[in-house]
């Protein structure tokens, strides 16, 4: 039995309710076990053929069958609406590391001008968005706020205000990225909410329009709308996407947080630099050499953190002693990353460094999006 669905972004045609089942039989459906809905396979073909959706669905009241099996499948999510159940989306929100971070100076608006290379990694939070009467947030991890200070909830409110939408959402956040760790977990959650609600609320905004909302939430948030690797300038929001391969890393966290505002408050003009180190890291990423990348790592905030967090130097030394090619504090800390030759080596180093006072992960960098809508294998029929 085929699931009932709401219209997908590209399939604007709707059949009368009594004829929904007959209408659905003319469409190829693949059940999505995550959303409880379906994925519609739309064929890519020459204009005028059955794979041309702009023509196949252009005439009101008419239905043209889509060719099956397709030559190339372009999937797009379709939200389910089973009886008595609200629409629901599941998202994965990746962390990031800063492979370079330079403070270039202080701006007239009080912020610091930076040059930074950000890279998404496959340590991720999981979010579930469900239709609700108001804006709600539930968090599975202890110590994470669920009020207006949480970026995920702030993102929902900001998008509702910017779009004029009066609908609600219940956000369930399964927090796996440590908070206040220099890994951008809160910013990634905010970006996931923006992208998820854009789909759940049917806004269909282009990414530049979503980025205008994202930048009001934090300078890292626009990066997570894309993911991969990027060179950030200005306050970090002016992004240049970078070509990069997959690199294995070990992340080590001392199980305490770091305040970004306090760290920047300790920056002095002696810590300023000219952006050359960030450009060198960007070039190393393009060269796809782990050794070269390790040799160019740089974080100008480390001198502002090291005096109050000696664990930073200890974790870096432990990573290098265990075999990492190079080590660096990520962002405003306190998480430290180590560059590895392979993922197997990263797993071995993680095993050597895991201890009661430190939390460790072996991760890979992400080439694609930081925010993903997971699609497991279709259920057998």
Alpha carbon distance 6, 155 (integer Å): 25
197 close to 156: Cβ distance less than 8 angstroms: yes
Chain Cα centroid distance, residue 132: 24
| Active site amino acids | 96, 220
Would you say 252 and 359 are in contact if contact means Cβ atoms under 8 Å apart? yes
- Rounded to whole angstroms, the Cα distance separating 46 from 196 reads 31
Residue with the two structure tokens 């206040």 = 180
Neighbours of 179 (CB within 10 A): 14
Beta strands in 133-223 (DSSP E): 135-139, 168-174
What residue ranges in the chain does DSSP mark as E strands? 29-31, 38-43, 73-78, 88-106, 112-132, 135-139, 168-174, 229-233, 238-242, 248-253, 298-299, 326-329, 336-340, 359-364, 371-372
């Amino acid at each position: 039995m085929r699931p009932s669905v709401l219209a997908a972004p590209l399939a604007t045609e709707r059949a009368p309710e009594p004829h929904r089942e007959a209408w659905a039989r003319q469409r190829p459906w693949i059940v999505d076990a995550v959303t409880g809905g379906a994925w519609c396979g739309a064929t890519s073909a020459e204009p005028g053929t059955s794979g041309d959706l702009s023509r196949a669905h252009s005439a009101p009241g008419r239905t043209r069958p889509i060719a099956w099996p397709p030559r190339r499948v372009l999937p797009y999510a379709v939200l389910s609406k089973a009886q008595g159940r609200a629409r629901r989306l599941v998202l994965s929100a990746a962390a990031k590391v800063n492979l370079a971070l330079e403070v270039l100076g202080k701006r007239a608006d009080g912020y610091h001008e930076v040059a930074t290379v950000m890279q998404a990694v496959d340590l991720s939070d999981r979010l579930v968005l469900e239709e609700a009467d108001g804006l709600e947030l539930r968090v599975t991890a202890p110590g994470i706020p669920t009020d207006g200070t949480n970026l995920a909830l702030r993102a929902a409110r900001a998008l509702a205000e910017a779009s004029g939408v009066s609908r609600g959402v219940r956000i369930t956040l399964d927090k796996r990225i440590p908070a206040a760790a220099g890994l951008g977990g809160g910013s990634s959650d905010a970006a996931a909410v923006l992208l998820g609600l854009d789909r759940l609320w049917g806004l269909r905004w282009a990414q530049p329009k979503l980025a205008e909302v994202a930048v009001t939430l934090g300078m890292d948030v626009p990066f997570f709308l894309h993911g991969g690797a990027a060179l950030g300038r200005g306050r970090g929001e002016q992004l240049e996407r970078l070509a990069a391969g997959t690199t294995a890393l070990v992340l080590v966290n001392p199980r305490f947080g770091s305040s970004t505002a306090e760290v920047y408050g300790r920056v002095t003009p002696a810590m300023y630099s000219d952006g050359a180190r960030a450009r060198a890291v960007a070039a190393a990423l393009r060269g796809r050499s782990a050794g070269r990348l390790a040799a160019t790592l740089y974080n100008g905030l480390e001198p502002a953190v090291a005096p109050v967090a000696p664990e930073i130097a200890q974790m870096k030394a432990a990573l290098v002693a265990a075999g990492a090619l190079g080590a660096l504090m990520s962002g405003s800390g306190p998480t430290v990353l180590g560059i590895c030759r392979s993922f197997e080596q990263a797993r071995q180093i993680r095993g050597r460094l895991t201890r009661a006072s430190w939390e460790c992960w072996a991760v890979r960098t992400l080439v694609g999006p930081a925010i993903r809508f997971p699609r497991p294998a279709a259920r057998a029929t």
